[in-house]
Amino acid sequence: MKYIICYDIKEDRIRSRIVKYLEERAFRIQFSVFSCQCSSIEIKKIWKDLKSKTKNAENPLLMIIPVCKSCDKAILMQGKPLEEDKTVLVI
């Protein structure tokens, strides 16, 4: 399934760790928005890792939004994502 992952984190150090983590697992649509194609087991691991990495942040916002195939076809977007879609393997 496709997922949209987004965040809002004030602390530069923590935000940098989140960006590095997500860049290895997803492709970047905007600065704080990523997209990935993975299984429900993989997304649960990503969720757990993101929560762990932001536990010391002040009021972090993390969102993972599942996008079904019919919803994916209905997405309206103007402009080009920062990165192109790529296959991601989470180990």
What SS3 state is found at 43?
helix
What's the pTM value of the predicted model, to 2 decimals?
A: 0.83
Pick 13 or 69 by higher pLDDT: 13
pLDDT given for residue 91 in this prediction = 46
Place of tokens 């994916």: 72
Between CA 26 and CA 33, with CA 19 as vertex, the angle to 5 degrees is 60
Place of tokens 């309206």: 76
CA 22 → CA 10, 26, 28, distances in Å? 17, 6, 8
| pLDDT tens-digit map of 42-80 | 999 999 999 999 999 999 999 999 999 888 888 888 887
